[in-house]
Structure 1
Amino acid sequence: MIEMSEPIIVAFPLRGEWLSPNTPGTKIPSHGTNQLGTRYAYDFIQVDWSRKGYPAYRVSLPQYLLFGVPLNEYYCWGQEVYSPCDGIVVAAEDDYKEQTRTNLLSDLANAYKNAHYFDPEKDDVQSVAGNYIIIEYGDNIYAALCHLQTGTVQVSVGQSVTKGEVIGKVGHSGNSFAPHLHFQLMDSSDIATANGLLCAFEEYELFNKGRWEKISNGIPTNKDRIRFQKSDIETE
């Protein structure tokens, strides 16, 4: 399953409980393509674990299927996003508008089109990534956090960021089937041509048989109920 013996270790970029429906812990390429640096990318959503099918929205299934869902009815929309590492911001885009609600058929069709037919020579990266931040973590290592909520990007190009610093909020901008955070490491600051890099998260908890277990340097699967709480530094 894992093609690199030494994944790059970064901090978990969110707080609270999450599910990763697309993750390299389950399949590679995690998004079905190697384009746009997504080979080892993660998507993170919040769900209602008590409802059948673990929906990511507060409304009923018929309403979701027939009419779509306003963004504020999704559990994760507007949740804070944290820097996964110390580094320098090399890109920060925050002018791509979000739709006011999701639409299953059109969003899935758009996602498929962009995943398989995106042309880096003529297509706008923001049509896929939406509002995004790219952080230079090390030599040829860049962290990208995409689909951020319009108007919430809190950093600018050239700014130094520290691990755990709030940098934006989860949104639905760009090529997004529903509000979520898309996170990936890549070997270039240019999403259009970058190759993906495998990463693991230095610390989080996994809900297993009714108990939370601490995980170190882990790669969650698409079945895992995971959480990360605020650190002691953040709560001081």
Structure 2
Amino acid sequence: MAGELDDAVVVDFPLRGEGWMAVTTPAARIPSHGTDMLGQRFAFDFLKVDERAGTRFHPAGMLRANLVGVRVQECYAWGAPIYAPCDGVVVLAVDGVAERAWIHPVTEAARLIRNAWTFTPGNLPAILGNHVILRTGDVFAAFVHLAPGSVAVRAEQIVRSGELLGRVGHTGNSTSPHLHFQLMDSLDVMTARGIPCAFRRYDVEHQGSWMSIRNGIPAQRERLRSAEVA
């Protein structure tokens, strides 16, 4: 596993602020999402959480969240800006996929299973939701599950590192608002192979203090903070 990550492409961290957590990361396992399909071999899922133990992505308690559910727009990550992690050209920008307003663990799990069983290339929007793909050289960076109406770029637009691409949402194959981010070798996600990725700089919380990391790959469930100014 470690050998596959040795020559990772280094980009800037695409989120700002603190409270982020890589709930899915190639630092924990490869393929990170359990499959090489759709260029996901080295993909990340970034969730925003509070100070409570675990992955508490909404202010509600566990009882309410599991029995009643929670509103999408009350989740910590929802609407958070996503920034270009490198200079590049936008090669695909998809908006207009509707967002579910309510999250309940049973219905979200059922949707994931249904999407897995019924997946075809023609229903990619049901999996990716609103998304942006940025090209830099021979590398394609994908930003997935964006909020509807938030995509801030268009195809063929040149962007610089740090420019706004869109906002975190809950569209497509998502169980809560989060950013799915991956690098791959092709625009065609049906045939693309994943490319390992590291982040130029970010901070990790350790025993109440923040440690600066350079050219690192976040471990699973580390509490992260962007080193960039919002």
Aligned match of 2:25: 23
Deviation at 1:167, TM superposition (A): 1.1
For 1:111 and 1:72, how far apart are their aligned partners in 2?
A: 20
Task: Give 1:166's aligned residue.
Answer: 164
SS in 1 for 2:220: coil
**Any idea what SS the aligned residue of 2:112 has?**
helix
**Aligned residues of 1:125 and 1:191 also touching (Cα < 8 A):** no
Whole-Å separation in 1 of the counterparts to 2:79 and 2:219: 24
Deviation at 1:93, TM superposition (A): 0.4
Who is 2:141 aligned against? Answer: 143
Residue of structure 1 equivalent to 2:206: 208
| 1:41 matched residue in structure 2 | 43
Question: For the residues of structure 2 that align with 1:202 and 1:13, how far apart are their CA atoms?
Answer: 11
Alignment check: 8 A CA contact 1:76 1:170 kept: yes
Report the alpha carbon displacement of residue 117 of structure 1 after superposing the two structures with TM.
5.9
Residues 176 and 54 of structure 1, relative CA distance in 2, 3 Å threshold: closer
Deviation string for 1:137-181 (max 9, x for gaps)?
Answer: 112x10000000000000000000110111110000111010000
Q: State the distance in 2 between where 1:198 and 1:61 align.
A: 34
Deviations 1:9-67 (CA, angstroms, capped at 9, x unpaired): 11100001200110001111111111111110000011112x24341111121111112
Taking only the aligned residue pairs, the percentage that are identical comes to 44
Amino acid at match of 1:34: D
- Would the aligned equivalents of 2:5 and 2:197 in 1 still touch at CA under 8 Å? no
CA distance in 2, matches of 1:221, 1:58: 24
| 1:108-140 alpha-carbon deviations (Å, 9 max, x no partner) | 2322444576333xx32111110000000112x
Paired position in structure 1 for 2:133? 134
Q: CA, structure 1 residues 193+106, in 2 after alignment: closer, same or farther (shift >3 Å)?
A: farther
Q: Tell me if the contact between 2:205 and 2:222 (Cα under 8 Å) persists in the aligned partners.
A: yes
1:228 aligns with 2:229: no
Aligned to 1:190: 188
> How far apart, CA to CA, are the structure 2 residues paired with 1:75 and 1:206?
19
| Equivalent-residue separation in structure 1 for 2:189 and 2:106 (angstroms) | 26
TM-score relative to the length of structure 2: 0.94
The residue number in structure 2 matching 1:119 is 120
TM-score, length basis structure 1: 0.92
> 4+ residue runs of structure 1 moved beyond 6 angstroms?
none
**Aligned-partner Cα distance in 2 for 1:85–1:115:** 32
Q: Which moved more, 1:84-93 or 1:186-195?
A: 186-195
1:70-81 correspondence runs (5 A):
70-81=71-82
- Distance, in Å, in 2 between the alignment partners of 1:205 and 1:186 is 25
2:197 corresponding residue in structure 1: 199
